Structure 1
Amino acid sequence: MSKFSLKGRVALVTGGARGCGFAFAQGLAEAGADVAIFDVIPPSPALAQLTVDHGVRTKAYTVDVTSIASLKTGFDAFKVDFGGNLDIVVACAGVNKNVELLDTTEEDFDRLFGVNCKGVYFTAQMAAKQMIENGTKCGSIILVASMASYIAIRSQRSSAYCGTKGAVKAMVAPMAAEMNKYGIRVNSTLWWMEV
């Protein structure tokens, strides 16, 4: 793992209390990064175990990524707790609702786009601002998209969800072009499932 060491780096994962968000947090901790998570739900006890197992610092913050005020409060607290350091962000907070086009309500649509697009976008923005402020020259922002942005997943009836992940995918290249001059990479990762 030494080739992939993140020792001395600080990472933040949204949606990190469970699921793939926690898996990202776990992988970052295994590589030696200190890890903070933002989520609307309490963290798994396994978060504290990362400190024991890997000798890294971990901390959880209650943050709703659909709220700019909540994100700002979270970033402000995180900045104080981690001395302004931020090297890696994984914008993983996301939701889905198995609802077909003909049955999707405005409330469904707004919730999906609020978490999956607005939350990702403003997480990336606030993270980039903090990275620029702290002078990082090797920042990394990872936006979690989905194969659902490319294909219809038969077991998943959610065209609105697919649209949110397509929007995330579309954000990556222009964000990367804008952040390159600051030494910040922006990439996406697409999770896969059998269709």
Structure 2
Amino acid sequence: MFDVKGKKAIITGGAQGLGFSLVKAFHNEGVEIAVIDISHEILNIAEKIGNDGSTIHAVKGDLLHIESLRESFKKALEHLGGTVDILINSAGLIERKPAFEFSLESWNRILGLNVTSVFELSRLAAIEMKKQGSGKIMNMGSILSVLGGFHAAAYSTSKGAILQMTKSLSNEWACYGIQVNAIAPGYMLTTMNNDLVNDVERRVQVDARIPAKRWGTPEDVVGPALFLASSASDYVTGTLIPVDGGVLGR
């Protein structure tokens, strides 16, 4: 029921952070993976993870530009032999700054990557999944899909949109055997949160807010992701699963 061996997946933002942990975990579980990332590090991902599991294909692409996104998806699909069972939209951007100081250029970049690219990749994947009558799409939300955040207007807006998009696409595609869900990481020890970790005042505030009394790690997201990728979640769709040490339950 929880076995994903032999499945084919496309994972974005897999060169580092949460995305890299997901690539490593799915690789170890026998999933053939095409990883899309803008970073040059993507070209070394198979070497970094090792060759003792499934096949990993690297696709370097800029998801902020639609034509590059579509070409990247096409290459990823070709690497996987023309089929995809799992799509994980893990690529994302954040910029912490007061709204008064936030540029419209930054706003558009964050919404472009965190929302528009997720919609287009999900649509492209769902077209292929519909043909086979099954598929799993996972979107990376956040606790800021629900909370307002602080100095994160663009990011929280984008992650709120991810929650609503997940519900909407689930409503449309569940009848085709495609489950669309979102994972909501909490405060994670990743490079994306380095500024929070190093801000003494904010770090104390965040520490006090987490019932589990620790920050999350990328590995904490792996279990829920594998569940959502497996047949164990065939009747789970349109939902947001928090991985936050209890923050949303306070």
CA shift, 1:92, in A, is: 0.8
**Match for residue 17 of structure 2 among 1, 6, 19:** 19
User: Structure 2 vs 1, CA of residues 78 and 95 (structure 1 numbering), >3 Å: closer, same or farther?
Assistant: same
Does the 8 Å CA contact 1:50/1:58 hold for their aligned counterparts?
A: no
Which residue identity lines up with residue 11 of structure 2 in the other structure? Answer: V
1:192 lines up with 2:186 in the alignment: yes
- Aligned equivalents of 1:132 and 1:32: distance in 2? 23
User: For 1:64-143, what aligned pairs fall within 5 Å after superposition?
Assistant: 64-133=62-131, 135=132, 137-143=133-139
Q: Report the CA distance between 1:51 and its aligned residue.
A: 4.9
Report the alpha carbon displacement of residue 173 of structure 1 after superposing the two structures with TM: 1.1
In terms of mean alpha carbon deviation, does 161-170 or 76-85 score higher?
A: 76-85
**Counterparts of 2:129 and 2:75 in 1: how far apart (Å)?**
15
42-51 or 60-69, larger mean C-alpha shift: 42-51
User: Residue 52 of structure 1 aligns with which residue?
Assistant: 51
Deviates more, 1:22-31 or 1:12-21: 22-31
Bigger Cα displacement from structure 2, 138-147 vs 71-80: 71-80
Query: Helix, strand or coil for the counterpart of 2:158?
Result: helix
TM, length-normalised to structure 2: 0.71
What SS does the corresponding residue of 2:58 show, helix, strand or coil? strand
Q: Out of 107-116 and 45-54, give the one that drifted further.
A: 45-54
Question: Conserved in 1, the CA contact under 8 Å of 2:8 and 2:86?
Answer: yes
> What's the CA shift for 1:130?
2.0
Distance 1:118 1:105, change over 3 A: same
1:170: Cα distance to partner?
0.8
Partner of 2:170: 176
- The answer to whether the Cα contact below 8 Å between 2:43 and 2:58 also exists between their aligned partners in 1 is no
Q: For 1:61, what is the secondary structure of its paired residue? A: strand
Separation in structure 2 between the aligned mates of residue 48 and residue 128 of structure 1, nearest angstrom: 30
- Where structure 2 has 5 or more consecutive residues not aligned to the other structure, the ranges are 188-205, 210-250
Deviation string, structure 1 residues 27-86 (Cα, Å, up to 9, x no partner): 2112210111111112274533545232x0101111111222112111222222221120
Structure 1 residue ranges, 4+ long, deviating more than 4 angstroms after superposition: none
The answer to whether the 8 A contact 1:51-1:57 is kept is no
Residues 130, 104 of structure 1: alpha-carbon distance in 2 compared, 3 angstrom cutoff? same
For residue 4 of structure 1, report the CA deviation from its aligned partner: 2.5
The gaps in structure 1 that reach 5 residues or longer are none
- Could you tell me how far apart the structure 2 residues matched to 1:138 and 1:185 are? 8
Residues 10 and 85 in structure 1, CA contact (< 8 A), matched pair in contact too: yes
Query: Which amino acid letter does the alignment assign opposite residue 8 of structure 1?
Result: G
Report the Cα distance in structure 1 between the residues aligned to 2:26 and 2:145, rounded to whole angstroms: 26
C-alpha distance in 1, partners of 2:33/2:47?
A: 11
Kept after mapping to 1: 8 A contact 2:35/2:76: no
Aligned to 1:174, what secondary structure does the other structure show? helix
Rounded Cα–Cα distance in structure 2 between residues aligned with 1:44 and 1:148: 31
CA distance in 1, matches of 2:38, 2:139: 18
